């Protein structure tokens, strides 16, 4: 049986789908019996999802403008 | 650092078509490249250098290097890999010059690359929880981030990760890259990538937990 501590160290391998079949089964078995580890896994997933929400892909217009004008200069030289 | 990842995948037909359009001087094609990568490039560059301004400079320089080198792009790697390798090389040079500990540098060892990722004090000697995770009362990322302080705490936690972890977490979890692409750009192995991701994510969960516990 996996310990809780061992489970916390396998959580990324589990989420990445890189656990071998036997380990995956032990992982799930432990989860089924252990509410705190279920909470831990849930929090890890929530953390990953929340980090993803930090994504900012806006480019300020002046930066875009500068890059495009550098591009035009580059063309002229070419 | 250990052996590099398997050779980068080759450029897709879309990559090659885009390169051709940029080389032909099509504004829309360059604009497309910028829209796809500029913000992510700044995020990654920021891991290597000390300020957002310097990161912006590094990205600008990278774009110029991309344009100047594009003629020689032979499609032996994905376009993205090629661009981001130019970026990380420039950012690394700049970071080293600034005396920063840069990710994957032979100069500085990071404090946190061995031992368990989660705090061992949270467990009994038998490895059971002695201090189990406290419930968060939120069940979606949107709910977590609706509170400005939580978002701020998370942002800050990302910024204070050891640089190699921050690089991997930024690419994987913020920018949504595949593990393979990350390995190709950072020239690290799959295993190394996964370890860094794990340690980084573990720290971020802990940071959010501390935030909710009011620590």
ipTM: 0.94
3-state helix, strand, coil in chain A (%, to 5): 80, 0, 20
Query: A45 touching B, CB under 8 A?
Result: no
* Cβ contact, residue pair B63, A12, below 8 Å: no
Q: Residue B56: which residues within 8 A CB-CB, separation 6 or more?
A: A63, B42, B45
pLDDT of residue B3: 41
pLDDT of residue B108: 47
User: Count of domains in chain B?
Assistant: 2
What is the domain-level CATH number for residue B37?
Answer: 1.10.1740.10
CB B126 within 8 A of CB A3: yes
Give the single-character DSSP code of B171: I
Segments forming the whole domain that contains residue B152: 120-213
Please say which residue of B62, B97, B132 terminates a domain: B97
Query: B137 touching A, CB under 8 A?
Result: no
Pick the CATH number of A1-54 from 1.25.40, 1.10.10, 3.30.70, 2.30.30: 1.10.10
Tally of helices (H runs) and strands (E runs) in chain A: 4, 0
| B146 plus B209 within the same structural domain | yes
Query: B58 touching A, CB under 8 A?
Result: no
Query: B6 touching A, CB under 8 A?
Result: no
Q: Residue A30: which residues within 8 A CB-CB, separation 6 or more?
A: A1, A2, A4, A7, A37
pLDDT of residue B127: 96
Within 68-87 of B, beta carbons closer than 8 Å to A belong to 68
pLDDT in tens, B136-193: 877 788 887 777 888 899 999 999 999 999 999 999 999 999 999 999 999 999 999 9
> Is residue B108 in a domain?
no
CB B76 within 8 A of CB B10: yes
> Is residue B190 in a domain?
yes
Inform me whether the pLDDT recorded for B2 exceeds 80: no
pTM of the model: 0.92
pLDDT of residue B107: 46
Please say which residue of B82, B97, B112 terminates a domain: B97
pLDDT of residue B109: 55
Please give chain A's pLDDT, 78 residues, in tens. Answer: 899 999 999 999 999 999 999 999 999 999 999 999 999 999 999 999 999 999 988 999 999 999 999 999 999 986
| B198 plus B153 within the same structural domain | yes
Domain ranges of chain A: 1-54
Name chain B contacts of A57, Cβ cutoff 8 Å. 39-40
Q: Residue B183: which residues within 8 A CB-CB, separation 6 or more?
A: B5, B6, B189, B190, B193
> Is residue B111 in a domain?
no
Name chain B contacts of A16, Cβ cutoff 8 Å. 179, 194, 197
Residue of A4, A44, A78 lying closest to B123 (CB–CB): A4
What is the domain-level CATH number for residue B185?
Answer: 1.10.10.10
Query: Across the A/B interface, how many CB contacts are shorter than 8 Å?
Result: 138
Categorize the per-residue pLDDT at B1 as very low, low, confident or very high, splitting at 50, 70 and 90.
very low
Q: If you compute the radius of gyration of chain B from its CA atoms, what whole number of angstroms results? A: 19
pLDDT in tens, B72-89: 998 989 999 999 999 999
pLDDT in tens, B55-74: 999 999 999 999 999 999 98
Query: A20 touching B, CB under 8 A?
Result: no
Residue of A50, A58, A74 lying closest to B67 (CB–CB): A74
Q: Tell me how many degrees the CA angle A26-A32-A38 measures, rounded to the nearest 5.
A: 100
Q: Indicate the SS3 state at residue B165.
A: helix
pLDDT in tens, B88-126: 999 999 999 998 878 876 544 565 667 788 899 999 999
Query: A43 touching B, CB under 8 A?
Result: yes
Question: Which residue, B204, B197, B196, is CA-closest to B110?
Answer: B196
> Is residue B105 in a domain?
no
| B88 plus B22 within the same structural domain | yes
Query: A55 touching B, CB under 8 A?
Result: yes
Q: Which residue of B has its CA nearest to A70?
A: B64
């Amino acid at each position: 049986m996996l310990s809780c501590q061992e489970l916390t160290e396998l959580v990324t391998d589990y989420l990445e789908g890189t656990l071998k079949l036997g380990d995956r089964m032990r992982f799930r078995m432990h989860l089924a019996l252990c509410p705190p580890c279920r909470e831990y896994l849930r929090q890890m997933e929530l953390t990953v999802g929340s980090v993803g929400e930090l994504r900012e892909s806006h480019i300020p217009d002046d930066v875009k403008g500068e890059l495009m004008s550098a591009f035009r200069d580059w063309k002229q030289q070419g | 650092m250990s052996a590099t990842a398997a050779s980068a995948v080759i450029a897709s037909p879309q990559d090659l078509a885009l390169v051709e359009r940029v080389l032909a001087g099509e504004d829309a094609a360059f604009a497309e490249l910028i829209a796809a990568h500029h913000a992510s490039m700044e995020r990654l560059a920021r891991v290597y250098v000390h300020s957002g301004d310097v990161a912006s400079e590094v990205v600008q320089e990278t774009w110029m290097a991309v344009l100047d080198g594009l003629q020689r792009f032979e499609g032996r790697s994905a376009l993205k890999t090629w661009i981001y390798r130019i970026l990380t090389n420039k950012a690394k040079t700049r970071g080293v010059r600034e005396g920063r500990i840069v990710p994957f540098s032979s100069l500085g060892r990071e404090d946190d690359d061995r031992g368990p990722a989660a705090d061992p004090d949270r467990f009994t000697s038998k490895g059971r929880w002695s201090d189990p995770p406290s419930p968060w009362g939120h069940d979606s990322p949107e709910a977590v981030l609706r509170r400005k302080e939580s978002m701020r705490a998370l942002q800050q936690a990302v910024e204070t990760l050891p640089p190699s972890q921050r690089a991997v977490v930024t690419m994987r979890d913020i920018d949504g890259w595949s593990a393979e692409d990350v390995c190709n750009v950072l020239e690290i192995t799959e295993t190394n990538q996964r370890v860094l991701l794990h340690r980084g994510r573990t720290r971020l969960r802990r940071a959010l937990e501390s935030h909710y516990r009011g620590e």
